[in-house]
């Protein structure tokens, strides 16, 4: 599993306070948290959209869930 960066702001999970806090609460790394819990995470590309960027993009949807 390779977690890259947010497609909107180019930050890694370790640079996004939301994921750092959630990962700490779950006892995992921010990258692991994104790979397991972030609905926009695309395992084929390693990309995701953080909440702030996902909202800014208009909360895109797709059948089966939108992936970055």
Q: pLDDT for 7-56, tens place per residue?
A: 999 999 999 999 999 999 999 999 999 999 999 999 999 999 999 999 99
Q: With bands split at pLDDT 50, 70 and 90, how would you rate the model's confidence at 1?
A: low
CA-nearest of 2, 7, 5, 60 to 35 is 2
- Do 18 and 50 contact (CB within 8 A), yes or no? yes
| 51: its two tokens | 């909440």
**Which letter does DSSP use for residue 28 in this model?**
S
Q: With bands split at pLDDT 50, 70 and 90, how would you rate the model's confidence at 64?
A: confident
Find the domain containing 39 and state its range: 1-68
Instruction: Report the number of distinct structural domains present in the chain.
Output: 1
| 19: its two tokens | 């994921």
Cβ neighbours around 36 below 10 Å, total: 13
């Amino acid at each position: 599993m390779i977690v890259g960066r947010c497609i909107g702001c180019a930050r890694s999970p370790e640079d996004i306070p939301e994921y750092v806090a959630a990962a700490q609460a779950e006892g995992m790394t921010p990258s692991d948290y994104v790979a397991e819990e972030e609905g926009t995470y695309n395992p084929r590309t390693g990309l995701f959209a953080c909440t702030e960027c996902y909202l800014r993009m208009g909360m895109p949807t797709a059948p089966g869930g939108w992936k970055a």
